[in-house]
Amino acid sequence: MSRLRRMAAPLVLAVGGGLFAAAPAAEAAPVACDTTSTPYTYVVTYQPGTRASAVDKELAAKCGTKVAYYGEIGVAIASSRNADFQQKIGVYRAYSGGKDVASSASARTSLGAVKTLEDTQSVAAAGDLSAQQWDMKAIHAPEANKKYQGSSSVTVGVLDSGIDATHPALKAAVSPSESAGCITGAADTSPASWAPTTSDHGTHVAGTIAGKDPAAGFTGIAPGVKLASVKVVNDDGYIFPESAVCGFVWAAKHGFPVTNNSYYIDPGMFFCSREPGDAAAYEAVRRAIQYSTHHGVLNVSAAGNSGFDTTAQTTDPNRPHPVDSSCGILPKAIDGVVTVSSVGYAGTKSSFSNYGEIDVTAPGGDFSQTPPAGAGPACPLSTTVFGGLYGSKCGTSMASPHAAGVAALLASRFRGIPPQLLSRFLTGEADPVKCASAETECTGPARDNSYYGHGLVNALDAVR
């Protein structure tokens, strides 16, 4: 993993075989900073515990302004118009995803095109939708709901594109006081900052975790728990490192026992901990996740929809750089994060699902695994922002909240359980799924393989 670069030592001069401190230089003239170019936001790493005044001083001297500072982890969010700001700070200490996107034609352009496999297909919010929720039946959620629906003292942080708190299935679950917008890298608690704008992705995820609408017959996995909308996806569909850092720190400081992260950090897909720029992003996110874990948060993440073995990649499909063991897809590459692959209606790996280092699997749908008539669409059904209706989406983005919902049930039963133990319960109570003979790229035993990890999450076992 990346190492913090220390500040340069004072200059010394060798004279006649001896070392002497350099004579004090005349006061440097103020730096002429760019005041007209487009500003970009950066993550900047410091030694944890560095005083805010020292951060302000360095940023000002190098043509930056502070947006936020997370002193506990030594990560600042800064804005600068200067094209050479990263060089001024140090290429291993500063990184801007926004600037990278602006300067790279290879960067992807939208969340919807990559992270979900289908635009939301809406259905009327009338009648009984429970028959169409094959995904809930697959993990025994209906039986679990009859026994226990989770505790209102447990809040799941949904780090995503925002949650529609007016949706009939979600209005009782969303906790405004625990929600925040993190797009800028600084938490904003105004309702507009955490509401969805251009995407219903977060609303769909939220319904799977804790939705409940008796009039429509729709129920999520843990309808008794609360949800916090932590908006990290901007209106262009990007999740930059500064937004993720803000989100994980927010989760830690507000005591969320579980977060769901149905995304990868942009403009990735892989960040390399020993590369200029990447090193700062990787380290900032790693520290934020580690901080959240130390404060009792279990972070659950989607495996990704590229259909490849993440442990065998040698190139990044989004950016033209080599990939080795020092690189990883964030946030799932960080120790302690639960990684979730996707299965379709038939219970086998979705064609699009990444594999390799997997902890558990859950329903995310697959167009080639079509349910019988009346059993629902091939993609899981959940809440949308379109007039309180429901729709289907496929993706590991949809699988991850199934695992997060089961984790929320476990966190409700075992209040205050450390995330490491919560993860063990989640994986230990999953139903083993062995590699089929036709799945030649699937390796490992039924209890721990490269396609399904420890198995399919089980909501009923979580409440027994």
Residue range 395-406: mean pLDDT, rounded? 98
pLDDT of residue 268: 87
Q: How many CB atoms lie within 10 A of CB 82?
A: 19
Contacts of 61 (CB under 8 A, 6+ apart): 31
Strand pairing category for 298-302 and 258-261: parallel
| pLDDT tens digits, 131-151 | 999 999 999 999 999 999 999
Residue 287 to residues 49, 232, 249, 250, 331, Cα–Cα distance (Å): 13, 17, 9, 13, 11
What is the pLDDT confidence band of residue 123, given thresholds at 50, 70 and 90? confident
Asked if 208 contacts 173 with a C-beta cutoff of 8 angstroms, the reply is no
What is the pLDDT confidence band of residue 419, given thresholds at 50, 70 and 90? very high
| pLDDT tens digits, 310-320 | 999 999 999 98
pTM: 0.91
Q: How many CB atoms lie within 10 A of CB 105?
A: 5
pLDDT > 90? residue 253? yes
* Percentage of the chain lying above the pLDDT 90 cut: 86
> Which phi and psi (to 5°) does residue 123 adopt?
-130, 160
Nearest partner of 385 among 181, 230, 118, 163, judged by Cα: 163
What is the pLDDT confidence band of residue 25, given thresholds at 50, 70 and 90? very low
SS3 of residue 40 by DSSP? strand
Terminal Cα distance for the chain, rounded: 40
Summary mean pLDDT of the chain: 91
pLDDT > 60? residue 230? yes
Pick the CATH number of 35-103 from 3.40.50, 1.10.287, 3.30.70, 3.30.9: 3.30.70
SS3 of residue 391 by DSSP? strand
Residue type, position 182, single letter: C
What is the pLDDT confidence band of residue 385, given thresholds at 50, 70 and 90? confident
Residue range 90-111: mean pLDDT, rounded? 79
pLDDT > 70? residue 106? no
- Delimit the domains of the chain by residue range: 35-103, 111-463
Domain 111-463, second-level architecture: 3-Layer(aba) Sandwich (3.40)
SS3 of residue 293 by DSSP? helix
Residue 391 to residues 193, 272, 386, Cα–Cα distance (Å): 24, 37, 9
Asked if 283 contacts 246 with a C-beta cutoff of 8 angstroms, the reply is no
Residue range 300-306: mean pLDDT, rounded? 97
Handedness of CA 254, 260, 261, 262 (dihedral sign): negative
CA atoms of 281 and 260, how far apart (whole Å): 20
Q: How many CB atoms lie within 10 A of CB 124?
A: 10
| pLDDT tens digits, 327-358 | 999 999 999 999 999 999 999 999 999 999 99
pLDDT of residue 7: 33
